[in-house]
Amino acid sequence: MMNEHDYYNDEEPHYLLDSNIVSELIKCNASFNVIKKIAEHNSDCAICSPTLHELLYGYEKMADGAKKTFLGDYINADVLENFKVKIYSEKSSRIHAKIRADAERIGTPVPFSDSMIAAIALANHMVLVTRNKKHFEAIQQVSGLEIENWFE
């Protein structure tokens, strides 16, 4: 069993990959741009604990069979071997609370999971890579969150 220290090394990544980016890599018709960017920046990429949860939740919901085995192998052999996992820390908790409160103040409440992912990116001074830029627009209004869409 791995512990959280197994996911870290001395060099800190610059890009935090959202689940839609990580999931794209195993699609039959995966975006060339996403694959190219991952190849270019592989050692500079990480995922966060909520993204890992989304992948594992999808795995756990699947019926036993070849697809479930393939996904499990992908998570363990590819995702966890290639990307550090950034955790939801005290620092990210504080940033998360501020983001949600500030967004509510300006009349644009934000989804809990999206704001949690954004807070982890901000706490670690990372650029969030996602296809769903629109989901994070309200968060950008109240924070310095940087976003890139590698599908473009």
Q: What is the DSSP string of 50-82?
A: HHHHHHHHHHHHSPSSHHHHHHHHIIIIIIHHH
Q: Residue 11 — very low, low, confident or very high, per pLDDT cuts 50/70/90?
A: low
Cβ neighbour number for residue 121 with a 10 Å cutoff: 27
- Phi and psi, residue 17, nearest 5°: -90, 125
Dihedral of CA atoms 8, 139, 144, 50 in degrees, nearest 10, equals 0
What is residue 48's three-state secondary structure? Answer: strand
Instruction: Report d(CA 100, CA 110) in Å as an integer.
Output: 6
Is residue 123 within 8 Å of residue 98, measured between CB atoms?
A: no
Grade residue 12 by pLDDT with cuts at 50, 70 and 90. Answer: confident
Beta bridge partners of 84: 46
- How far apart are alpha carbons 148 and 41 in whole angstroms? 13
Q: What is the mean pLDDT of residues 124-145?
A: 95
Task: Give residue 7's pLDDT.
Answer: 41
CB 19 within 8 A of CB 51: yes
When pLDDT is cut at 50, 70 and 90, the band that residue 13 belongs to is confident
Closest residue by Cα to residue 127 from 8, 3, 49, 13: 13
Question: Which secondary structure element, helix H or strand E, spans residue 26, and what is its range?
Answer: none
Q: Which amino acid is at 142?
A: V
